[in-house]
């Protein structure tokens, strides 16, 4: 099934680029219908323009409340015919008003092996902690911060004395692979959600 994607960005947009490249090479059956950035200076906007994909800026500061911003974001994506939303380096937390417009159809890529190191600067958190292994996670977004059901994870070893910058660069590459893989699984209809005996919602891959 061709996924009709909306991609939300705040900056560089390398994860957006991975999606655009995978669709162009037909590795991924998806159509990026709309890119929205909450920052006018996001480099990802140029990537969208180069790929001939519709993009717009919606600055959160222009809205009186978080829920008004969320509602406008959801309205624009729905108007563009989007059925799955990818948070690709989008640096705003989305509330229930947004999530209920796309129930279990919003995914995020996070640069750690969740549930370890949620939140900001996850790569630096792992290095500062002295972790020997870290990675990235693509997960469904729920109302918590980096808490939703896991779809794909990839891991790397952290070398002794390795810098945060080096870990970030190596992880970014893994993020691109994991994000495209998660979208391929979604497109192929291979994911379902179950509730474990302990009451945790989790993704099952067929
Ligand atoms: C990525 O490391 C992502 O995991 C994090 O922000 C970064 C975004 O990179 N949430 P890019 O904008 O996709 O290049």
How far apart (Å, rounded) are the C-alpha atoms in residues 135 and 166? 13
pLDDT in tens, 164-206: 999 999 999 999 999 999 999 999 999 999 999 999 999 999 9
Helix (H, G, I), strand (E, B) or coil at 131: coil
Is there a contact between 74 and 97 (Cβ–Cβ < 8 Å)? Answer: yes
Q: Is the pLDDT of residue 1 over 90?
A: no
User: How would residue 109 be classed by pLDDT, with cut points 50, 70 and 90?
Assistant: very high
As for ligand 1, residues whose beta carbon falls within 6 Å of it are: 9, 11-15, 88-89, 109-111, 172, 175
Q: Which of 191, 160, 36, 176 is nearest to 111 (CA)?
A: 176
- Among 11, 46, 89, residue to substitute to test ligand 1 (most atoms within 8 Å of Cβ): 89
Give ∠ CA 86-59-124 in degrees, rounded to 5.
60
Q: Which of 60, 110, 139, 173 is catalytic?
A: 110
pTM value > 0.95 = yes
How far apart (Å, rounded) are the C-alpha atoms in residues 20 and 31? 9
Distance of CA 78 to the CA centre of its chain: 18
């Amino acid at each position: 099934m061709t996924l009709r994607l909306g991609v939300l960005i705040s900056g560089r947009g390398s994860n957006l680029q991975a999606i655009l490249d995978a669709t162009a090479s037909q590795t991924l059956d998806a159509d990026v219908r709309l890119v929205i950035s909450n920052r006018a200076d996001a480099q990802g906007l140029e990537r969208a323009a180069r790929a001939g994909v519709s993009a717009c800026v919606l600055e959160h500061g222009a809205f009186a409340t978080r829920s008004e911003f969320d509602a406008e974001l959801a309205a624009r994506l729905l108007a563009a015919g989007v059925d799955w939303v990818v948070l690709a380096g989008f640096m705003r937390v989305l509330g229930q008003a947004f999530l209920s417009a796309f129930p279990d159809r919003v995914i995020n890529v996070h640069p750690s092996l969740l549930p370890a190191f949620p939140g900001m600067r996850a790569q630096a958190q792992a290095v500062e902690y002295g972790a020997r292994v870290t990675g990235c996670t693509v997960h469904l977004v729920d109302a918590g911060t980096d808490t939703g059901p896991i779809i794909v994870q990839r891991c790397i070893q952290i070398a002794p004395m390795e810098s945060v910058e080096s870990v970030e660069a190596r992880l970014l590459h893994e993020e691109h692979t994991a994000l495209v893989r998660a979208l391929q699984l979604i497109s192929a209809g291979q994911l379902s959600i179950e509730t474990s005996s302990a009451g945790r919602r989790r993704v099952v891959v067929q």
